[in-house]
Chains A and B, each alone.
Chain A
Amino acid sequence: MRKLLITASMLALGAAVMPASAETVRWARASDALTLDPHSQNQGVTHNFNHHIYETLLNRDVEGNLVPRLATEWFVKEDDPTVWVFKLREGVKFHGGEDFTAEDVVFSLDRARTEKSNMRQLHADVESVSAVDDLTVEVKMKGPSPLYPNNVTNTFIMDKGWSEENDVVEVQDFAAGEDNYAVRNTNGTGPYVLTSREPDVRSVLTAFDGHWAEAPDVTEIIYLPIRENATRVAALLSGEVDLVQDVPVQDIERLSATDGVKVNTGPENRIIYFGYKFGDEPLKSSNITDKNPFNDPKVREAMELAIDREAIQRVVMRGQSVPAGVATPPFVNGWTPELDAYPAPDVEKAKALLAEAGYADGFTVTLDTPNDRYVNDEAISQAVVGMLGQIGIRVTLASRPVAQHSPIILANDTDFYLLGWGVPTFDSAYIFNDLVHTKDGNYGAYNVGLYSNPDLDTKIQSLGTETDLDKRNATVAEIWEVVKADRVLLPIHNQVLAYAMKEGLDLPVHPENQPLLNELKVGE
């Protein structure tokens, strides 16, 4: 045994002599991209990886602003408010040497709208896409869609010729018996070319010589999924990886204090909130069997007063969260500091409100929470169980992995639940459409509590086609006013992201958790 260790230590010494190349970055995350087919999955980790190989018309910078990428200009056509015009970048080449033209954009947007594409909801309002000339594309919408450019930041552009040649005009079909070529092979315009890939193990990306932007500091990326939190952090501490994107909250403090390791934190564009069932029907998990306590505004107010958001931030999140008084992250159009204010906890007043509402003895209810989806999701719910217990609401916690939590959420089969919501369009309408509008057709898919306010529904629908931005913003403000006063949702906080890296690297936190490593600066 001893001999074995001595041999091993000698080997390690040998390895330590070799200089670590400054241009290669070993990048560890908790999970791997699911597929390389750009339109098959609408999932953050997959998009983040593919953003290095493929490019989008527009992108989000670290402040959450829309920035040009393959498109240099975008505007609504002068004489037709239903048409968006994208002017494309000149001189862009695909990895295979093909020229990037409007035909490729038309092909890719069409592909993203097909039935098997997971991106198609983002393009649901598109009627047709056409090329005007080699560097101009027009997207005809079904009606005026002032915010459509927000929806193209994760829709990647493929080469038409390459796709036809390799028979990947259609998106990967889960139900088919075979995988398609684009799942494992790529031909994008992005800053890196995929040189090798072993799913769940290791992928290597090397800088693309023919890329239109200036050459990146990082010339090679080795992407290493490490599922176990402790192992991922250990790999950074032992110098085997240079960058860890998914840093567990409990390790942030320790890593910051470690020599040679730098931790960047920043808010994520994701709100964590509780929701409850509306309507007159009695709850299925409560001891109150003749009515629904949550339907009483006083009860909802009492719950908000019972919850100490700052205690959750301090104790459960170890300071790594931004407490919120409104169910939208600050990045989103429509957010204001006034809306985000939240009341100080007041147990006495909460009890009085409950008594006024006729629940002096409180009531029982079950809280459904995921336990592997959001940062410390189960612990947040446990804290809330305790806080509500103080005012007499006796909560039973039902904790499940997200694979079991999601079906309950989608089936509205819960009285009281925890959920998180990211806002990829950076606009309040995205929240209203899915969380506030009455559940009906394409609206309200995640309106789990079945809240329904016909007046708000009309206003929400008007946002989709209102072209006067001032008028539209006024409507957004009106809707938030009602949503907050009605306590449609009970927001807790916005998540914070943390990236840990070795000294000398500086990767700012991206609000969508999709940093680009070609923008990573390598210092001394």
Chain B
Amino acid sequence: MLAFILRRLAQSIVVMLVVALISFMLFRYVGDPIASMLGQESRLSDIEELRQRLGLNDPFYIQFARFIANAVQGEFGISYRLQQPVSELIMTRLPATIELAFTSALIALVFGITLGVFTALKPKSFATAAIMTLSLVGVSLPTFLIGIGLIYIFAVELQWLPSFGRGEVVDLGWWRTGLLTESGRRSLILPAITLSLFQLTLIMRLVRAEMLEVLRADYIRFAKARGLSQRAINFGHALKNTLVPVITITGLQLGSVIAFAIVTETVFQWPGVGSLFINSVQVVDVPVMAAYLMFIAFVFVVINLIVDILYYAVDPRLRVHSIGAGK
């Protein structure tokens, strides 16, 4: 077990290094950070000097090595744009993103499973047809449009919910939460719905397909033959067996919800790491971009590691294989 985890960890480090390398190669095509750091008054000599001071004239591999050496010590430098330490910027923005991601995952899970079960149990009803059609819209409409649409309806026309920001936050010292205040919770509703729609439809379709499959299985028919109540069959047996793949998918999707909250965060001016990243890309704030990409890689690596360990615990075949490899 320990050997397996260690090997997995070693692989994760390689993955992170590769991500860092690729992102560093890409940064060279994003533009020149100096352009936004110096105004139109700046002389060519100023530009050259700043470039020199920031080490932007060094060859690519030296810049990369310097970045890795600092990153290992948890040092990501100073944001070119906001002139504050990058690790601190990311840490202060992280709670907003995580609260948004978890809330939307929760919405997606609850509504996805409920609707999925419903549409599987009543495949011929009108409501099912309506839900399935609507879910197509949910999958195909871009997040940006959904967000703007929701803002227009609920903030501008009805004036029920705030259109931007995170409302009042409470500082717990290590975590700034919006969940403890009314305005914070109200601000969370629209962005969380926007971010969850895609996952919601995904989970719904998955549950429905699995459920339809399970409902045809022999043990369901035997259960019916035994005279179990419909309720016990549907929720006690069928749904339970549907949930295994759903949990796997949800776990993996959580990573992408954190990573791809960028659009939602931008539309709603949600002060998370995604909007920090977008603002940084525009002015080529390399230290923030690099740290953000490393962070996202880290999230995926950790989630995959946990999933792998869970599989290892669940599936005896993996254990046999690893013992064999150990010899």
Is this pair of chains taken from one and the same complex? yes
User: Which A residues are closer than 8 A to B by beta carbons?
Assistant: 4-5, 8-9, 11-12, 16, 31, 34-35, 37, 40-43, 115, 118, 121-122, 172-179, 183-184, 198-202, 224-228, 230-232, 234-235, 237-240, 372, 400-407, 410, 421-422, 434, 442, 445-446
Q: Are A200 and B275 within 8 A (Cβ)?
A: yes
Q: Are A121 and B182 within 8 A (Cβ)?
A: no
Q: Are B40 and A446 within 8 A (Cβ)?
A: yes
**Of the residues B39, B47, B182, B284, contact of A43 by C-beta under 8 Å:** B39
Given contacts A173-B53, A201-B166, A238-B163, list 10 more A-B pairs with CB under 8 A.
A12-B159, A31-B279, A179-B78, A200-B82, A200-B275, A201-B165, A230-B151, A230-B267, A234-B155, A240-B164
Q: A34-B81, A198-B271, A200-B279 are in contact. Are A227 and B266 (CB under 8 A)?
A: yes
Binds A, one of B17-25, B30-38, B133-141, B216-224: B30-38
Q: Are B43 and A442 within 8 A (Cβ)?
A: yes
**A residues within 8 A CB of B164?**
224, 226, 231-232, 234-235, 240
Tell me the nearest residue of chain B to A4, going by C-beta. B189
Q: A174-B83, A227-B269 are in contact. Are A410 and B31 (CB under 8 A)?
A: no
Does B46 sit within 8 A of A, measured CB to CB? yes
Does B77 sit within 8 A of A, measured CB to CB? yes
Does B245 sit within 8 A of A, measured CB to CB? no
Within 138-164 of B, Cβ neighbours of A (below 8 Å) are at: 148, 151-152, 154-156, 158-164
Does B322 sit within 8 A of A, measured CB to CB? no
Q: Are B85 and A178 within 8 A (Cβ)?
A: yes
**A residues within 8 A CB of B78?**
174, 176-179
Does B241 sit within 8 A of A, measured CB to CB? no
Q: Are B55 and A175 within 8 A (Cβ)?
A: yes
1/0 contact string of B259-298 vs chain A (CB within 8 Å) = 0000000111101000110110011100000000000000
**A residues within 8 A CB of B83?**
34-35, 37, 40, 172, 174, 179, 183
Q: Are B156 and A238 within 8 A (Cβ)?
A: yes
Does B248 sit within 8 A of A, measured CB to CB? no
Listed by A's residue number, 19 A-B pairs whose Cβ atoms lie within 8 Å are: A8-B186, A16-B159, A37-B83, A175-B53, A176-B78, A179-B85, A201-B166, A224-B164, A226-B164, A231-B148, A231-B164, A238-B155, A372-B282, A403-B36, A407-B34, A410-B35, A422-B40, A445-B44, A446-B40
Q: Are B35 and A42 within 8 A (Cβ)?
A: no
Q: How far is the CA of A178 from the CA of B83 in the complex (A)?
A: 8
Q: Are B159 and A174 within 8 A (Cβ)?
A: no
Q: How far is the CA of A31 from the CA of B276 in the complex (A)?
A: 12
Q: Are A8 and B53 within 8 A (Cβ)?
A: no
Q: Are B282 and A12 within 8 A (Cβ)?
A: no
Task: Quote the shortest CB–CB distance from A40 to chain B (angstroms).
Answer: 7
1/0 contact string of B121-139 vs chain A (CB within 8 Å) = 0000000000000000000
Does B213 sit within 8 A of A, measured CB to CB? no
Q: Are B189 and A234 within 8 A (Cβ)?
A: no
Q: How far is the CA of A235 from the CA of B267 in the complex (A)?
A: 12
Q: What are the 10 A-B residue pairs with the smallest beta carbon separation, nearest first?
A: A403-B31, A406-B35, A42-B39, A121-B41, A404-B31, A407-B32, A175-B53, A201-B271, A238-B155, A403-B284
Task: Quote the shortest CB–CB distance from B84 to chain A (angstroms).
Answer: 5
**B residues within 8 A CB of A43?**
39
**B residues within 8 A CB of A179?**
78, 83-85
Q: A183-B84, A200-B275 are in contact. Are A403 and B40 (CB under 8 A)?
A: no
**B residues within 8 A CB of A172?**
83
Q: A174-B53, A234-B163, A240-B163 are in contact. Are A42 and B271 (CB under 8 A)?
A: no
**B residues within 8 A CB of A400?**
31
Does B50 sit within 8 A of A, measured CB to CB? yes
Task: Quote the shortest CB–CB distance from B103 to chain A (angstroms).
Answer: 12
Q: Are A238 and B35 within 8 A (Cβ)?
A: no
**Of the residues B36, B40, B158, B161, contact of A434 by C-beta under 8 Å:** B40
Q: A200-B276, A401-B282 are in contact. Are A12 and B75 (CB under 8 A)?
A: no
Does B42 sit within 8 A of A, measured CB to CB? yes
Tell me the nearest residue of chain B to A419, going by C-beta. B40
**A residues within 8 A CB of B282?**
372, 401, 403
Tell me the nearest residue of chain B to A231, going by C-beta. B164
Q: Are B42 and A121 within 8 A (Cβ)?
A: yes
Tell me the nearest residue of chain B to A237, going by C-beta. B156
**A residues within 8 A CB of B162?**
238, 240
**A residues within 8 A CB of B163?**
231, 234-235, 238, 240
Q: Are B53 and A9 within 8 A (Cβ)?
A: no
**B residues within 8 A CB of A37?**
83
Q: How far is the CA of A227 from the CA of B267 in the complex (A)?
A: 8
Q: Are A177 and B77 within 8 A (Cβ)?
A: yes
Interface-central residue, A115, A183, A231, A372, by most chain B CB under 10 Å:
A231
**B residues within 8 A CB of A178?**
78, 85
**Of the residues B35, B148, B156, B276, contact of A407 by C-beta under 8 Å:** B35
Q: How far is the CA of A175 from the CA of B63 in the complex (A)?
A: 13
**B residues within 8 A CB of A401?**
31, 282
Q: Are A8 and B160 within 8 A (Cβ)?
A: yes
Tell me the nearest residue of chain B to A233, going by C-beta. B156
Does B198 sit within 8 A of A, measured CB to CB? no
Does B300 sit within 8 A of A, measured CB to CB? no
Q: Are A421 and B159 within 8 A (Cβ)?
A: no
**A residues within 8 A CB of B38?**
42, 118
Task: Quote the shortest CB–CB distance from B46 to chain A (angstroms).
Answer: 7
Q: How far is the CA of A200 from the CA of B162 in the complex (A)?
A: 18
Task: Quote the shortest CB–CB distance from B266 to chain A (angstroms).
Answer: 6
Q: Are A403 and B276 within 8 A (Cβ)?
A: no
Q: How far is the CA of A5 from the CA of B161 in the complex (A)?
A: 9
Interface-central residue, A16, A122, A172, A237, by most chain B CB under 10 Å:
A237
**A residues within 8 A CB of B77?**
177
Q: Are B46 and A11 within 8 A (Cβ)?
A: no
Task: Quote the shortest CB–CB distance from A220 to chain B (angstroms).
Answer: 16
Q: A34-B81, A40-B83, A118-B42 are in contact. Are A402 and B36 (CB under 8 A)?
A: yes
Q: Are A403 and B39 within 8 A (Cβ)?
A: no
Interface-central residue, A176, A201, A232, by most chain B CB under 10 Å:
A201
Q: Are A445 and B43 within 8 A (Cβ)?
A: yes
Q: How far is the CA of A31 from the CA of B82 in the complex (A)?
A: 11
